[in-house]
Amino acid sequence: MESAIGLNHFLAVGLILFCLGLFCVLTRRNAIGVLMGVELILNGANVNYVAFSKYSAAAVDGQVFSVFVIMLAAAEAAIGLALVLAIYRSFRAIDVSVMRTLRG
Amino acid sequence: MLETAATHEAAAGVSYALRWIVALPLAGAAINLIAGKRLQDAAGRTAVAVLGSAMSIASFVCVVAAFLRLRSLPVDERLLLDTVSSWIHIGDLDVSIALAFDPLSAVMCLIITGIGSLIHIYSYGYMDEDPANWRFFGMLNLFLFCMLTLILGDNMLVMFVGWEGVGLCSWGLIGFWHSDHTNTAAANKAFLVNRIGDFAFLCGMFLLFWSLADSGKATLVFRELAHAVPALEGMTLWGMGVATLVTLLLFVGATGKSAQIPLYVWLPDAMAGPTPVSALIHAATMVTAGVYMIVRLNFLFSMAPFTMQVITAVGAATAFFAATIGLSQHDIKKVLAYSTVSQLGYMFMAVGVGAYAAGIFHLLTHAFFKACLFLGAGSVIHALHHEQDMRRMGGLRSYMPVTFGTFLISALAIAGVPGFAGFFSKDEILWRAFLANPVIWAVGLAAAGMTAFYMFRAVFLTFAGECRVEGHAREHLHESSWTMTLPLVVLAAGAAGAGYLGVPAALGGANHFEQWLAPVVELEHAALSHAAGGHDTTLEYVLMALSVATAGLGILLAYLIYIRKSLSAATFAAIGGGVPYRLSFNKYFVDEFYYGFFLNGVLSLSRALAWIDLHVVDGIVNGAARVVRISSDFGGAIDHYVVDGLVNGTATVVDRCGAAARKLQTGGINAYLYVLVLAVILVLFSRAW
């Protein structure tokens, strides 16, 4: 192994990012925190894309996808924040545990 | 019969505006009954009385004009016709509202409107204290309209309309003072008894039409009937000749209207009405409708010898029994009422033996003297403030000379004293009755003797002897006003002179009256003259002398008992242990018998039927209802528990599932995410395996 850093390290980083994001999404009660967790998950996925793109024979498909994901994440963050604003207006709070109006 | 029919067919009838005769009284009735109260309040009772009387007199003038027109025609063509409009035209039945005026109708119309007008004038004086003059004169005019319709009707149906109408007016006028229960009871009795007769009349009419329909000559027009009834010859129904059955039914109708046995009971009670009503309706006109009807249909009745015998027997029996009741009554109007029943019996006796013209002749003379007697009695009653008991009268001759004079003339007329009207008509009937059956003649003669007695009993008790009037009525005794005495005088003149219209050949007269009626009752005359084998004038003289002697005897007896007092009424009352007197005084208990037998019978029957209705019919109905209720309870239970159970059960299951499932929907986003993650992990692990 001449190089110490290989594909598995990237995948490990991606996994750590994904797990942190998932943990954040599952545990945070603040809506913005949840959104931030979602960003972490997306970026964990992005790391995977880019790593596979680097270490595989294929062209830049993975990198293109990651660009799409970044763009999509931006759009998602904008919409998510807008939703959070709207929620704040009607609930005077952004705590997701409070927002249970969809309960059956 | 055929000749008569042919004569009538040849006489197609002259068109003439007869409708005015009936329309004028109808107009008077309409005005007085609709607006009369306001008219009386505004213009006084004179206005309504003048209106009513004027309509009656105008109608009389129309009748006289029609009469003169009729007289100007040749004997065979004496028929005036007026078809007002068509009425019913269904299949064979073709009935028009048509009026016909022939010699018979002419006589009747002259009586009705002539005497009717006099009674209208009289009523103005008689009803001077009554607040409802408008109703009285309206009803009188309505009565004239109905009676004239009855007489002038060209067919049986129009006649029947009048026949019912006079019954209605009779009811309304008997019960005129309706605040007194006895008056309304009398009115209802008259109406109901008449209904029995009317029902039979109707049945007779139906049967006649129905039987004629078989022969293809169905008609109800009198002139056509004369032509058609020979077809009934030989037809039978229930073992009787149809002609006999029809005429018997019609005669039952006549007994109701004309107060003959067994339906005479209403007439004495009808005296509850105002006295002018008794004079007009229950003496001169309405009660003679039955006689008129039989004479109008004489061609039909002549076909049924059995019916003729029944009519004769009923007439004679009524004449006799009513006369015996009249002997003992204390109420002056009751005496006159039974006298009327008795005299109507004479008329039926006459038509029963085929002496139609004699019957109508007696009807005419009776109308004069009986109306005069009633009005005279009314004059007395009015003067005595509605006292009708002859025991509390007496000696009124000096106070009321005109009433006395006219009453006396009429009493002489009804008693059959020679020279007065009743003599000619009654002798004619007795003579014809003798030719038919001497027994009938003997009964008639006995009734004539009793008539003479009770009439003079009434005259003596009322006008002669000492005055038994009590209290302040005695101080106010006076002759009635001229509106009451004028009709009395005119009617008394008629009672004295009307007989000279029909002086029989035996007395050197030409009997104009019979000749006048000849076109209507021609054939029966010829037949009878043949049967009699010409005129036996000696026998007629003997019979005449006998009847005059009987009448004289009756008058003499009354004189001895009530004036000379050499005989006592009590002696006669005690004959046979007082039984005949009590029978007579209590009217043979016929009312009680009818009440006990028919009324109680009907009441018991209706109670029995009510019991059946309550227990059997209601039981069946309630039982059926209970069965239905139980079965529907059962159906309801099935519906409730099975059908509804299924529906509700389904709903309950779905509801429970929903309730369970909704718990998954927490609304908390974290929960969803946990589920999502767990599910992904599960999927991953399941793939790994």
Tens-place pLDDT, residues B548-562: 999 999 999 888 888
* A103/B673 touch (CB, cutoff 8 Å), yes or no: no
| A34 close contact with B: CB closer than 8 A | yes
Distances from the Cα of B546 to the Cαs of B344, B508, B539, in angstroms?
22, 19, 11
Interface check B669 vs A, CB under 8 A: yes
Locate the chain A residue with the closest alpha carbon to B659: A104
8 Å CB contact of B667 and A26: no
Grade residue B12 by pLDDT with cuts at 50, 70 and 90.
low
pLDDT at B216 over 50: yes
Provide the residue range defining the domain that includes B647: 600-676
**What mean pLDDT comes out for the span B181-200?**
92
Q: Residue B661: closest CA among chain A residues belongs to which residue?
A: A104
Is residue B648 one of the residues assigned to a domain? Answer: yes
All residues of chain A having their beta carbon less than 8 Å from the beta carbon of residue B668 are 96-97, 100, 103
| Residue A72 pLDDT level (bands cut at 50, 70, 90) | very high
Strand ranges inside B181-280, DSSP E: 236-237, 240-241
Q: Which of B148, B165, B37 is nearest to B99 (CA)?
A: B148
B643 touches chain A (CB under 8 A): no
Q: Of A22, A96, A104, which is closest to B669 when you measure between CB atoms?
A: A96
Range of weakest confidence among A88-102, B353-367, B632-646:
A88-102
pLDDT computed for residue B159 by the predictor:
93
Residue in chain B lying closest to A98 (CA): B668
CA distances from A80 to A33, A42, A44, A72 (A): 11, 14, 19, 12
| Domain assignment present for B653 | yes
Q: What is the pLDDT of residue B5?
A: 42
For residue B8, name the pLDDT band (cuts at 50, 70, 90). Answer: very low
The DSSP code sequence of B586-651 is: TGGGHHHHHIIIIIHHHHHHHHHHHHHIIIIIHHHHHHHHHHHHHHHHHHHHIIIIIIHHHHHHHH
Q: What residues in A contact B679, CB-CB < 8 Å? A: none
Lowest mean pLDDT among A18-22, B63-67, B311-315, B560-564: B560-564
The rounded distance, in Å, linking the Cα atoms of B377 and B388 is 8
* Residues above pLDDT 90, as percent of chain A: 43
| Candidate from B666, B674, B677 with C-beta closest to A103 | B666
What's the pLDDT tens digit per position in B485-534?
A: 999 999 999 999 888 888 877 776 667 788 888 888 755 444 455 444 45
Say if the Cβ atoms of A25 and B673 lie within 8 Å.
yes
B634 lies in some domain: yes
Residue B441 lies in a domain: no
Report the pLDDT value the prediction gives residue B188, as an integer from 0 to 100: 92
How much is the pLDDT for A41? Answer: 92
Identify the pLDDT of residue A104.
67
Structure tokens at A88: 């704040």
Q: Is B419 helix (H, G, I), strand (E, B) or coil?
A: coil
Number of domains in chain B: 1
pLDDT in tens, B458-480: 999 999 888 888 777 777 788 88
**Minimal CA separation from B671 to chain A, in Å:** 8
Res. A55 pLDDT band, cuts 50 70 90: confident
Confirm or reject contact between B628 and chain A (CB < 8 A).
Answer: no
The mean predicted confidence, pLDDT, of chain B is 87
Position B254 in a domain: no
Residue B667 sits at the chain A interface (C-beta within 8 Å):
yes
- Contact B684/A at CB under 8 A: no
CB atoms A26 and B663 under 8 Å: no
- Average pLDDT of the residues in B96-112: 92
For B674, which residue in chain A has the nearest alpha carbon?
A26
Asked if A96 lies within 8 A of B670 by C-beta distance, the reply is: yes
Mean pLDDT to the nearest integer, B595-620: 87
pLDDT category of residue A3 using cuts at 50, 70 and 90:
low
Chain B interface includes A5 (CB < 8 A): no
Q: What is the pLDDT of residue B94?
A: 82
Among B654, B632, B652, B454, smallest CA distance to B554 is for B454
Residue of A nearest to B676 (CA): A26
Residue B665 lies in a domain: yes
Question: For the residues B246-259, what does the mean pLDDT come to?
Answer: 93
Taking CB atoms and an 8 Å cutoff, what residues of chain B touch A103?
665-668
pTM of the predicted model, to two decimals? 0.74
- Count CB pairs under 8 A between chains A and B: 33
Residue of A nearest to B662 (CA): A104
B668 in contact with A at a CB cutoff of 8 Å?
Answer: yes
DSSP class per residue in A25-37: HHH--BHHHHHHH
CB contact under 8 A, B668 and A96: yes
- Interface contact flag, B666 A22, Cβ < 8 Å: no
* B216 compared with B374, residue with greater pLDDT: B374
From the list B112, B229, B105, the residue with the least C-alpha distance to B158 is B105
Pairing label, strands B80-90, B93-101: antiparallel
CA dihedral B622, B624, B626, B631 (to 10 degrees): -170
3-state secondary structure B386-408: CCCEHHHCCCCCCCCHHHHHHHH
